[in-house]
Structure 1
Amino acid sequence: MRLLHVYSGNLYGGIEVFLRTLARLAPSAPELTHEFALCFEGRLSQELREAGAVTHLLGAVKVSRPWTVWRARSVLAELLRRERYTAVVCHAAWPQALFGPVVRAAGVPLIFYQHDGLNGRHWLERWARVTEPALALSNSRFSAQSLANVYPRVPWKVRYLPVPLPELLPGPVERARVRAELGASEHQAVIIQACRMEEWKGHRLLLEALGRLRTLPGWALWVAGGVQRPQEARYLESLEALATELGIRERVRFLGQRTDVPQLLRAADIHCQPNLSAEPFGIAFIEALQAGLPVLTTAMGGPLEIVDDSCGRLVQPRPEPLAEVLREWVETPELRRKLGAGGPARAAALCEPGAFLRGLQEDLQELTAKGRAA
């Protein structure tokens, strides 16, 4: 079976990590072939090619410039005429709106992969509604609950994203090296947040909680995630100013964009990403669980399906409860180690790659069987 994944490719976050993972998993599931069609060159296209994946470039698109949409659609239409695919998967509303009609016109089964909650009011979602897919795959039950706002009649399934273990797991020597490079002592409790530099990810809330712990010794914060857009640069400046205002700036390291997040996670002691609005799923939480870190986040969205009492805590999005749990974990290494020990099994139960690939193959077999019956 041969799949074509269609996406924009200009930024880098959870969807991009998922697509990169599919490319890297290809040798373990030769019955599924994954190809990719992107509009923009960037980190994603580079990583896909490094993984050996066939990557087609449709051309840069701006909806405000209709000729770029027409040109990219023409490139995709020609690709679908030239090649035979079992199905085409559009990831998120933007590619579904722009390229769904091309796929339907070519007579190829269309799958919509839902990576976000949908309210049906945004102009992109109203545009995407025009072209119904044959199947929708949702990245969580939370996301799936909102699918009917755009596609009330489309059959759907929940498929948690696959998150493989890093190929090389760093040991104690590597952990000590990373901590030394970043100025963390052996006895400090290092808190890490590794995600895109977006306000709803809760960086400010975490700083406000840690501001309440400024007299508590023995902790440091690493913030991994780089600026990708102008508004993110302004946001980062505001976070740096807030850390200074709270009197904790010397204990906070803003690390920028990193390609060694697995190493950072295994060198840290606590994972905290206190979202201010609902995360549709959250690959970052799964990666932290794999690394054996206790996970602290806010009780909303996809993390409600990921984090339980065996591996972390869920709190309300306020500084006080966040600070209370962080204080307890900083002061009690045995507790955070116990919670961290439950993480790998929890991550495997949700996001083991083999289970995802088998489920995806079943979805495609059902889809093609329905197509033959029709």
Structure 2
Amino acid sequence: MKILHIYSGNLFGGIETLLVTLAKEQSLCMQMQHHFALCFEGRLAHELRSFGAKIHSLGKVRISHPWTMWQARLQLQQLLKQERFDLVICHSCWSQAIFGSVVRAKCIPLIFWCHDVPNGKHPLEQWAKKIPPNLVIANSLYTQAAVSNLYPQIDSKILLCPVACPDIGKDASIRQDVRAELNTPDDAIVLIQVSRLERWKGQSFLLSALGNLRDIPGWICWLVGGIQRSHEAEYLQELKIQAQQLGIEDRVLFLGQRTDVPRLLAAADIHCQPNTGGEPFGIAFVEALYAGLPVVTTTIGAGMEIVDDSCGRLVAPNDINALSDVLNFLILNPSERATLAAGGKPRAEYLCNPAQQLTRLYNLLSEVVEYEAVA
């Protein structure tokens, strides 16, 4: 089965991580041959190429410049004419709106992989609504519940993202090396958050909770995530000012965009991402569980589908005192951290084992191809 994935490619987050996983883990389901059509060069294209993925450039697209869309559509038309794809998957409303009609015109099965929580009101979502796919894949129950805002008449299936357990060698030596690089004491309790610099990801909420723990010795916080858009620069500056005002600026490290996240997780002790808005899935949670970290998040979004009492703790969104209490307890109780850490990897494997999830993806896509062949 020859599959074309269409995406923009100018940022890097959960969707991009999924696409890289599809390329990296190709051997786990050889029945699928993944190709990628991108509009922008960047980290995504670089990482896909590092795993030998076939990338097709559609050219830079700006909706404010309509001619760039026309040119990109022509590029896609040529690509679909030259190569025989069994189906095409669009990974955002942006991709669906701009390119879905081209795929439909070629009578190729079209899949919409829903990675966000649409309300159906954004102009791009209104545009994407006009191009119904053959199937919607939702990355969580939480996301699936919102699919009807786009496509109330289209069948949807849930497929949790395949996430592989990283093979990074001996945790003990990595822990020591990373902490030395970051000037973090070996005996410090490191809290880490790995996410994009979006306000709803809860970095500010985390800092507020840690401000309540300023008198508790021995903890350090690593915030991982770099500036990708202009509003993120403003938010980062606000976070730095907040840490200073709370008197914890010397205990919070802003590490920026990193490509060695598995190493950082292996050197940390607690993962905390206290979302104030719903997380559509949460690959970062799964990666932290593989690393053996207790995961602390909020009772909103798909984090509730990943984190349970076997591997982490859930607190109410925007309840700073509740979050402070949970973090304080975990900081001061190594035995509780160890118990939750032991449940992390089994939970991650159960939910997101790549071989299991890629086989499920193949089965879902095969049903579409077979149905369209006889329709």
Bucket of the pairwise TM-score, normalised by the shorter protein:
over 0.9
State how far apart, in whole Å, the 1-side matches of 2:268 and 2:207 are. Answer: 17
State which drifts further: 48-57 or 164-173. 164-173
1:223-255, Cα deviation, whole Å (9 max, x unpaired):
111111121111111111110000000001001
Q: Which residue of 1 aligns with 2:191?
A: 191
CA distance in 2, matches of 1:340, 1:166: 16
Residue 41 of structure 2 corresponds to residue 58 of structure 1: no
- In structure 2, do the counterparts of structure 1 residues 257 and 170 end up closer, same or farther at CA, with 3 Å as the change threshold? farther
Alignment of 1:172-187 (within 5 A): 172-187=172-187
Deviates more, 1:277-286 or 1:28-37: 28-37
Matches within 5 A, 1:77-92: 77-92=77-92
Alignment-derived partner of residue 325 in structure 1: 326
The one-letter amino acid of 1:319's match is I
2:239 aligned with 1:239, yes or no? yes
**Structure 1, residues 156-203: CA drift from partner, whole Å, max 9, x if none?**
100000001113234211211111221222221100001111111100
Equivalent runs, 1:60-139 vs 2, <5 Å: 60-139=60-139
Letter in 2 for 1:299: T
Q: Residue 170 of structure 1 contacts residue 266 of structure 1 at CA under 8 Å; is this kept in 2?
A: no
Moved over 2 A (4+): 167-171
What root-mean-square deviation, in Å, do the aligned CA atoms of Structure 1 and Structure 2 show?
Answer: 0.8
Residue 256 of structure 1 and its aligned partner are, at CA, apart by 0.7
Kept in 1: contact 2:28–2:358 (CA 8 A): no
Q: Which amino acid aligns with 1:158?
A: I
Q: Is the Cα contact below 8 Å between 2:197 and 2:236 reproduced in 1?
A: yes
Between the aligned partners of 2:211 and 2:324, the Cα distance in structure 1 is 9
- Counterpart of 1:156, as a letter, is S
- Alignment match, 1:359: 360
SS, match of residue 216 in structure 1: coil
Q: Distance in 1 between matches of 2:156 and 2:170?
A: 39
How do residues 280-359 of structure 1 correspond to structure 2 at under 5 angstroms? 280-317=280-317, 318-359=319-360
Contact 2:100 2:110 in 1 (8 A): yes
Gaps of 5+ in 2: none
Q: Deviations over 1:105-126 (max 9, x none)?
A: 0111000000011111111111
1:37-91: CA deviation from partner (whole Å, max 9, x where unpaired): 0000111011111110000000000111110000000000110011111100000
In structure 2, what is the Cα distance between the partners aligned to 1:167 and 1:178? Answer: 16
Q: What secondary structure does 2:285 align onto?
A: helix
Which residue in 1 is equivalent to 2:155? Answer: 155
When the two structures are superposed, what TM-score results if normalisation uses the length of structure 1? 0.99
Superimposed CA distance per residue, residues 108-149 of structure 1 (whole angstroms, 9 cap, x where no aligned partner): 100000001111111111100101000000000100001011
User: 1 CA distance for matches of 2:168 and 2:216?
Assistant: 35
The CA distance in 2 between the partners of 1:182 and 1:91, in whole Å, is 36
Cα contact 1:271–1:294 (8 A) shared by 2: yes
Which residue number corresponds to residue 21 of structure 2? 21
What is residue 370 of structure 2 aligned with on the other side?
A: 369
Q: Quick check: 1:140 aligned with 2:140?
A: yes
Is the CA contact (8 Å cut-off) linking 2:23 and 2:53 kept in structure 1?
yes
Give, in whole Å, the separation in 2 of the partners of 1:75 and 1:221. 46
The one-letter amino acid of 1:340's match is A
Give how far 1:29 is off.
2.1
How far has the Cα of 1:27 moved from its partner? 2.4
Q: 1:32 aligns to what?
A: 32
Relative to the length of structure 2, the TM-score reads 0.98
Distance 1:169 1:204 in 2: 33
Q: Which amino acid aligns with 1:153?
A: Q
**Any idea what the Cα deviations from partners look like across 1:204-237, whole Å, max 9, x if unmatched?**
0000000000001111100111111121111111
Contact between 1:136 and 1:156, CA under 8 Å: does it hold in 2? Answer: yes
1:281 partner letter: F
Q: Secondary structure at the match of 1:217?
A: coil
